Amino acid sequence: PQMVTNIAKTLHISEKQVNVKATTEEGLGFTGSGDGISAQAICLLNTVDNYSYDGTNSVSYVYDPEATETKNCSSCQGCCRNK
């Protein structure tokens, strides 16, 4: 659907990372009677220091707080390991 495509393009993420759902009010309230509309948005966020971004919208989990050496971090600009 076009809404998923537009959201993914705007956020520079894969369409697989976007989920859009719709529902009705089953005749309840002002939205159910057709007197108005309602919208809700929910966004799940993770801290950037847990992921490596390679510039292709691909994300890999690489962070290990117990690690003694960095792995796969060369492309990540999100955490203090590359600063």
Tokens of 45: 């966020």
Range with the poorest average pLDDT among 11-20, 42-51, 73-82: 73-82
The arithmetic mean of pLDDT across residues 3-16, rounded, is 90
Report whether pLDDT(1) > 70.
yes
Task: Quickly state the pLDDT bin for 3 (edges 50, 70, 90).
Answer: very high
Query: Nearest Cα to 63, choosing from 77, 83, 75, 48?
Result: 48
Of 83 and 73, the structure prediction assigns the larger pLDDT to 73
